[in-house]
Structure 1
Amino acid sequence: MSQPVPPPSGNPFAGGDQFAPAPPPAPVRDRVGLGIVAAVVAALVAAGAYGAIGGAIEREIGYAAVGVGFLVGFAAAKVGGRNPALPVISAVLSIGAVYLGQLIVTAVMVTKFGGASFTEVFFGHFGDLMTLWKRDAEGMTYVFLGIAAITAFAGAKKADA
């Protein structure tokens, strides 16, 4: 038997496959555990910043919930990858972060007017803080919790793209 002769044009694709092979797909990052850890850390940091800023100006900043949500979602997706659970987990954690930030604002304001230390108010009277938050919560308080969740979900999707 004789060997096949390459085409005279010198084109390696002539007479055979007319298309170059596709490059291999990019590796998929799917580190859910690390994404959740990153989201929890981002939520705690964002809650602290939200509470500190709100306490310093002696009122809550509802629009800061957008930043909290985006930070949590972005961190989760950047570290954790494309797992579809991360945007949902980020949304839930961002609600908790905004709530915790609002509790910190309340504790800071109580310490300014009550004379007790922040740690005493926050850790020693946490149940009272939650009761005070519930009493003072109004419609916009819940709207901003929802905005934080939506922004976290969108932030995770955006960082994943």
Structure 2
Amino acid sequence: MMSLVVGSVFIVVLASNFYQDFDITWGDGRAQILNNGELLTLSLDKPSGSGFQSKNEYLFGKIDMQLKLVSGNSAGTVTAYYLSSQGSTHDEIDFEFLGNLSGDPYILHTKEQQFYLWFDPTADFHTYSFLWNPQRIIFSVDGKPIREFKNAESVGVPYPKDQPVRIYSSLWNANDWAD
């Protein structure tokens, strides 16, 4: 299990050993592995952010991440936690949070659907989970299923079941991209 804390422009991630299980993929010094591999931090500045990925690939399983999002005016920030394959049949399974103006609710984005959360995701940690198998993907928040994406390949809907994925997470500034 990983824990992800998003501060005003800062993410802290906890795992068993980041040196062993994850690589920092971008960030030009804004990402660091600390405390003998027990802590990974991602930070953000105006022009860029930072991110990491798992060293291993996975085909099916349950993955949990604990997040606490940026409070106050976080407009322009994007916090993403996702599973992604590479190659010609690229697919993604994701949780994505777009920052907002103070007082506006956070909207959770998952694979083309949006959800308003029933709690303040900036007040405390909450667990966001993927349960992925050949039949379905279940998206859960704090153990409560919020979405089920069923395998409907029989009627022509693509489903990620043949290609392994890596775990990714990133924090970045979308202001320039969104303008």
TM-score normalised over the length of structure 1 = 0.23
Higher relative contact order (Cα pairs below 8 Å, separated by 6+ residues): 1
Q: Mark the structure with the bigger radius of gyration.
A: 1
TM-score normalised over the length of structure 2 = 0.21
